[in-house]
Amino acid sequence: MPSKILISACLLGRPVRYDGKGKPLQDPLIERWKAEGRLVGFCPEQAGGLPTPRPPAEIEGGMNGQDVLAGRARVLEVTGGDVTAEFVEGGKRAVAFAREQGCGLALFIDGSPSCGSGFIYDGSFSGNRHPGFGVTAALMRQMGIEVFSDRELDRLAARVERAG
């Protein structure tokens, strides 16, 4: 069986983002992996119980997903709502789903407080980025699932090639 990849559902074009839209990733590699049956879509924020659309959220204080998992930081909506529990639950469900589906690799959209793996926003809702992981991406890594961002398709392709 080919190695499977858990992919942010919004990258498949599913309308699951906070603004009710998708963000389809158009690339021949995606089409090939789809045809090979490798891609399994998942949205941690929806799985954690959040509605769509929903207010944008960021991890507070320039912290990252590891800090949220360790209880040192919260995930807050721009409206002030504390959605930490939903983000952590979504991460746990993503890991469980990846294991159930046999996904040892993940392809996640960058910048998201859940799925980001290269950069996230700093909690000020002013567009400031910093290097770091979202909550689900951090938990995936802790659990041994390799996470690649949508800017690392070539690196993921090389990994898929090795894994078969």
Residues that bind ligand SF4 (CB under 6 A): 8-10, 16-17, 43-45, 109, 112, 114-115
- Residue with tokens 């961002």, as numbered in its chain: 149
* H or E element in which residue 94 lies: helix 84-101
Query: Cβ closer to ligand SF4: 17 or 93?
Result: 17
Smallest gap from Cβ 92 to ligand SF4, in A, equals: 14
Smallest gap from Cβ 111 to ligand SF4, in A, equals: 8
Smallest gap from Cβ 162 to ligand SF4, in A, equals: 26
Q: How many CB atoms lie within 10 A of CB 157?
A: 15
Query: Cβ closer to ligand SF4: 45 or 58?
Result: 45
Distance CA 19, CA 15 (A): 8
Q: Supply 88's token pair.
A: 């952590």
Query: Cβ closer to ligand SF4: 101 or 158?
Result: 101
Q: How many CB atoms lie within 10 A of CB 78?
A: 11
